[in-house]
Amino acid sequence: MKVLHHPDQADIHLSSVLYALSDPIRLHLVAELYKAGERACGELQVPVVKSTVSHHLRTLREAGIFRVRIQGTQRFLSIRIDDLESRFPGLLMAVLQAYASSDESTLSS
């Protein structure tokens, strides 16, 4: 089984986090996961093909925003809220609040 890279808390960089959050699809994924809590990859609803979703999830994981937990054949996603809050206090909430109040928060299907 392939081992997934998750950066240590100290290795989460602001530039990587901001880059990962700069894409509307990735920002939508973060907002949806924040509302729902941990979810299986297959439960995510986004208007792009599966390979594109995989790319976005990898970007979010490698930036230190998502944690992927493998259980059997399923992959469960969660946001590393404590790690992000420790490294960059208030950043995640500020981004999510700005996103919720913007027109971008509803992706077209």
So what's the pLDDT on residue 57? 95
Residues 6 or more apart whose CB falls under 8 angstroms from that of 94 comprise none
Domain count, the chain: 1
The Cα–Cα gap between 24 and 104 comes to: 7
Per DSSP, the three-state class of 39 is: strand
Q: Is residue 3 part of a domain?
A: no
Q: Which residues of the chain fall below pLDDT 50?
A: 109
So what's the pLDDT on residue 45? 83
Provide the mean pLDDT of the chain: 91
Q: Is residue 1 part of a domain?
A: no
DSSP class per residue in 65-101: SEEEEEETTEEEEEE-HHHHHHHSTTHHHHHHHHHHT
Q: Is residue 91 part of a domain?
A: yes
- Domain of residue 54 covers 12-98
So what's the pLDDT on residue 108? 52
The Cα–Cα gap between 65 and 30 comes to: 8
Q: Is residue 5 part of a domain?
A: no
Q: Is residue 58 part of a domain?
A: yes
So what's the pLDDT on residue 102? 85
Quick one: tokens of 22?
């700069």
So what's the pLDDT on residue 109? 45
- Judged on CB neighbours under 10 Å (0-12, 13-18, 19+), 16 is middle
Q: Is residue 2 part of a domain?
A: no
Q: Is residue 104 part of a domain?
A: no
